[in-house]
Amino acid sequence: MYSFFKNRIVSIVVFLFVIFSFVFLPVSSLAADKLTDVQRSMLLNKPGVVFISHYDTVNLIIQSSAGYPQLSGKTYTVESGSMGSGFVVNPEGYILTNGHVVKTPDKSLAYQSIVSATDSILKDVIRAEFQNQGVNPSDADVEALMPQVIQEVGGKEQLILAFFQSYEAGEVKVEKTKTDIYVQQGATLSGKKIPVEKGMKADVRAVDFEGFTDEGEAIGKDIAIIKVTGSNMPTVKLGDSSKMQVGDKIYVIGYPGVPTFMEFLSKESQLESTTTSGIISALKTMKDGSQVLQTDTSITHGNSGGPAFNEEGEVIGVASMGAVDKQGVELAGFNYLRPGNVALEFLNEKNVKNTQGSTDEHFRKGLDYYENGKYRKAIKEFETALRLYPNLIEAQDYVKKSQEGISKQNVFEKIMDYLDVTTIAIVLVVLIIIVGAIMYIRKIAKKEKKMEEKVEQLEHDK
C-alpha cells in the first residue's frame, strides 16, 4: 500500500513539473522577434528626439542709397528660417539643443535676410534707374531686365555680397521684429501626421551662445534650453561623457536637412528621425580650452543640437559642428560633438533636472511584454503610455504589432498570455496543496477503514 501511494505522489509531482516547465521555460512560438540591444536602445530613445524649426521675421531698412534717393527708408519685411534637432531632458517639456539652433547671430541674420530680399531689392533698384531716366516701367519690363543685371554684376552670389557689404557699411539696417521656434516630434492628428510646418511653440529659457568667430568657432558653450507646454513627454538620459574613449561606438539621432527633405519622400517621412553611427575618432580641445569629441559619424546641417548616444543608450554628446575647408566646403567624416557633461552642467546651473517619467516607464514595460509574447499586457502598457502622451507614435505602432501577435496565437499561447508568472506559481502551489490534502485525507480514510476491518474481524473471531 505504501508503494502505491509513493508511486501516485511521484506521478503527480512529475505531472506538475511538466506543467511548470511548459509555463516557465521559454517557448519559442510565444516570443516576438527579439530586438538587439542597440535596436531596443534606439527605439526607446527615438521618441525623445525632436525636430526644431526657427523663424525670424526681419525688417531690412534702406538707410541711404547713392543715386536712388527714392529708396531711402524703404523697408523689406522678410522671414528667414533654419532647422535643427534637440532632445527632451525632462518630461515637463524641457528640451536641450545647440545655442545656434535657436539664436541667430546678427551677421548671419542679416545675410539670411538679404538673401531672401535680394530679388525685391534688385527690382526696386531697376525701377528707380528707369525713373531717374524719366520712364515708369511695367513689372514685365523690370522682370525682363533682372537676368541681364545679375549677369553684369557677376551672378546672384556677387549681388548678395554687394548688398551685404552695404549692410556692413551701415547703408542697410536689420531690425528683428519676431522670433518663432517650434518643436515637432512626429505627432499625429486624427490618424495623420502633422506637417513639419506646425508643431509646439517653444520658449527659449537659457542660451550660452554669442555667435561665431571668423574661424567658425562658437563663442560660448553653444548650448540652449527651450521649453514647450507639455507633460509626460518621452525623454532621454544623459550619461558621463568623460568616460568616452577613442574607438567607442556612438549613435546619433536627428533631422539632417538633406535626407529629411528629399523631394521624392512623402511629407510624413519628414517626421521620421535619422539614426547614424560611428566611433569617437579623437578627443580634441578648442582654442578657448573647451573639449570636443571628434567623430566620423555622419552629421550635417539639421543634426545640430541632436543627441549622440553611447551603447548603453545614454547621451554623451550634442551634435554641434562639422569640418570645412578654406572654401567653406564641408569635409565628410570629420564632425564634432559638445560633451554631454557640458550640457548636464548647464542644466544643473539652470535648475533643470534630467529625469524620465511615466511615459518612458510604461513604454519600456510594454516593450518587455511584447518581446516575451505577452501581447495583451503589452497593449495595456502601450495604451497607458499613449494616454499619458498621445503623440507617442512608436507606442501606436506596437499596439498594432501586439494585436497582430494576438491574432497568430494558438489556444495554449492565449492562455499563457492571460496569465502571469505570479498567478501561475500561486495556482501550482494551490494545486500541490490540494493534491496533498486529498492524498492525506484518503490515507487517513484508508487507515480508519483498516481499523474498522480489524475491529470487525476481532468481533467475528469472538
pLDDT (tens digit, 9 = 90+) per residue, 83-95? 999 999 999 999 9
Q: What are phi and psi of 294, to 5 degrees?
A: -85, 140
Distance, CA of 166 to chain centre: 42
Q: Which residues of the chain have pLDDT under 70?
A: 1-32, 186-198, 258-270, 322-333, 411-428, 430, 440, 445, 448-449, 452-462
Cell numbers that stand for 405 in this block: 501577435
Cα–Cα distance measured from residue 4 to residue 193, given in angstroms and rounded to the nearest whole number: 70
Cα–Cα distance measured from residue 377 to residue 419, given in angstroms and rounded to the nearest whole number: 10
276 beta partners: 252
pLDDT in the model for residue 443: 72
Cα–Cα distance measured from residue 405 to residue 421, given in angstroms and rounded to the nearest whole number: 20
Residue 254 neighbours by CB distance under 10 Å: 28
Residue 322 neighbours by CB distance under 10 Å: 19
Sorted by sequence, the CB contacts under 8 Å of residue 314 that are 6+ apart come out as: 237, 238, 239, 240, 340
pTM: 0.79
Give the architecture (CATH level 2) of 44-349. Answer: Beta Barrel (2.40)
Q: What's the farthest any 2 CA atoms get from each other in the chain? A: 153
DSSP 375: H
pLDDT in the model for residue 329: 47
Cα–Cα distance measured from residue 161 to residue 110, given in angstroms and rounded to the nearest whole number: 11
Strands (DSSP E) along 63-118, which ranges? 75-90, 94-97
Cα–Cα distance measured from residue 90 to residue 201, given in angstroms and rounded to the nearest whole number: 17
DSSP 195: P
Residue where the block lists cell 526607446: 44
pLDDT in the model for residue 81: 84
Contact 346, 355 (CB under 8 A): no
Contact 187, 199 (CB under 8 A): yes
pLDDT in the model for residue 439: 73
Residue where the block lists cell 525688417: 59
Cell numbers that stand for 236 in this block: 532621454
pLDDT in the model for residue 198: 62
Using alpha carbons only, give the angle 153, 154, 156 rounded to the nearest 5 degrees: 90
Provide the 3-class DSSP secondary structure of residue 320. Answer: strand
Contact 430, 226 (CB under 8 A): no
Contacts 24+ apart (CB under 8 A), 366-370: 366/395, 366/398, 367/35, 367/40, 367/43, 367/44, 367/398, 370/32, 370/398, 370/401, 370/402, 370/405
Residue range 258-278, pLDDT digits in tens:
555 556 566 666 678 889 999
Strands (DSSP E) along 185-264, which ranges? 188-189, 192-193, 200-208, 223-228, 249-254
Cα–Cα distance measured from residue 184 to residue 179, given in angstroms and rounded to the nearest whole number: 17
Distance, CA of 78 to chain centre: 31
Cα–Cα distance measured from residue 64 to residue 89, given in angstroms and rounded to the nearest whole number: 48
